[in-house]
Structure 1
């Protein structure tokens, strides 16, 4: 592999930058530079703003990346090639490239499967995404209850078990999604959110189970003084009870008590739409709304 961006990628970027409109770039210098670039250079070129805004030029880079290494004999090269295609907005092509290489057991296989999952998830190929996650832990799904990329300092790490549940639900396999979601740690705020998702995926004839999951989630949200989440859970419980043919009076009254404690005029107005509009109505995201409440607030009584 050559040196990224030198010399032909620089030539290409110079051509792009000098052109007032990427659609009127001269084809000959573009093709000359394209034919001589390596994977790293093509990835950088694909990210250049002028090329990123030109569908034709970006597609040419994708096609070149896909055809560049029809036979791949190293993990480093297959990951580099697939990452470049991901950066170029072609996750389906990245999956094609990954399938050209059979990783060895151990760390190679893990890196390969993680990128295979990312490519499938980006392409919304939920079947392949779920399969990659299951293969990542050889079917031991509880091992997925961890950050998929623990070495990366990301503010919101993607949890493998949650991701698998999302893919299963997207495939319409709600019962499997519930089973997967409930395999994880169900304590604290993360647990409350997982319980709420499981309740959402249960069938309508499983009302009692869903209602109980939401009750547990509410207890955990209240224990953490997460009042915004508690209000969301009560909304979900209200909708669940209405869909099951109930009157929803209990969650509605609890929502009203919580909104009163939090001085959430917006929620109170929503619960009483027939009432005179509140002249001091504020959004729950404004100072004083439930998103701004301090932990000293009182939890709603059951």
Structure 2
């Protein structure tokens, strides 16, 4: 272990007299040095340096230093000493409470803090950005409070609530579309009677946002899950209509793949003639070279053939690695 940063008498004097700013610096130094014994003493001091009652600003500063000192449980203890009234101060308090609970992996308490934040500003949960991690330049990586709360609910096993929350998204941008896709993933494990209404809401929102690719993903996910014959037939019909609307030969071919009637079989055959290799003219990989052949699985020692471990001669002459796999002939679905 490296020598201590300061002598023991100096350390004890700092514990007794230093303020939060100096203790914060000291904590970072001790963390970097891996001095667990002194860190434990410092963390105990942070719990008692400003006993209750204290103004909100002091409580928040104390909790911030505890988070910096990797003491999220202690930060929660300090934050519990006060309960601000509704308003901007309560939003600050709840945001820091969420940060501490999130750092402590206390999903129940983190979700509770976000639910209280939602009660403070119901219309802003989707647009409220929570700080996740501080970057080296001092800025913060953030994430929507709506997504964070959904993650906590999922971790707590409340899958249906998490999916329903994600479907509250009212924006029409790319992050909102991603929330719908996440909701669809969560819906997969629900009973059909709970799952189907949520799928309908997701489809309506994706269609309203014009995210036709996402609509296709939702319909494909819905078709892959157990459902009633009526729901399965409706989903298949929707997939077929969507693929024709987008002039998506691949999507239409997939929608008709399991159909057994003669008309569908004839249409499938016609669609196969429209499918092409991605490297064909018009494909997304047009002009790109074919992948190089893989090397042989075993080539033996230089100058020898056969099995190097057993000394057995090869049954046949060594052959080059496998040729590139033939293309499936399926194009990338048309973009909406």
TM-score of the two chains, using structure 1 as the length reference: 0.64
Q: 2:126 aligns with which of 145, 153, 175?
A: 145
TM-superposed deviation, 1:134: 1.6
User: Equivalent residue for 2:28?
Assistant: 47
Across the aligned residues of Structure 1 and Structure 2, the Cα RMSD in angstroms comes to 4.5
TM-superposed deviation, 1:104: 3.2
Seen in structure 2, the aligned counterparts of structure 1 residues 85 and 143 have a Cα distance that, compared at 3 Å, is: same
Residues 159-190 of structure 1 deviation map (CA, whole Å, 9 limit, x = unaligned): 11111111111111111111111111252311
Aligned runs of 1:1-302 on 2, under 5 Å? 20-22=2-4, 26-48=7-29, 51=32, 53-138=34-119, 141-148=122-129, 156-185=141-170, 187-202=172-187, 203-206=189-192, 213=202, 216=206, 220=211, 222=213, 250=254, 261-263=283-285, 276=322, 278=324, 299-300=333-334
Number of paired residues? Answer: 245
Bigger shift: residues 69-78 or 88-97: 69-78
Seen in structure 2, the aligned counterparts of structure 1 residues 208 and 50 have a Cα distance that, compared at 3 Å, is: closer
TM-superposed deviation, 1:214: 7.8
| Equivalent position SS for 1:48 | helix
Q: Is the 8 A contact 1:165 1:178 kept in 2?
A: yes
Residues 41-99 of structure 1 deviation map (CA, whole Å, 9 limit, x = unaligned): 11111112665522222222211111212213201100100000000001110000011
Seen in structure 2, the aligned counterparts of structure 1 residues 25 and 42 have a Cα distance that, compared at 3 Å, is: closer
Where in structure 1 are there 5+ consecutive unaligned residues? 1-18, 224-229, 267-275, 280-296
User: Equivalent residue for 1:9?
Assistant: none
Seen in structure 2, the aligned counterparts of structure 1 residues 135 and 221 have a Cα distance that, compared at 3 Å, is: same
TM-superposed deviation, 1:208: 5.8
Within 1, Cα distance between the matches of 2:50 and 2:60?
12
Q: Is the 8 A contact 2:111 2:153 kept in 1?
A: yes
| Structure of greater Rg | 2
TM-score of the two chains, using structure 2 as the length reference: 0.58
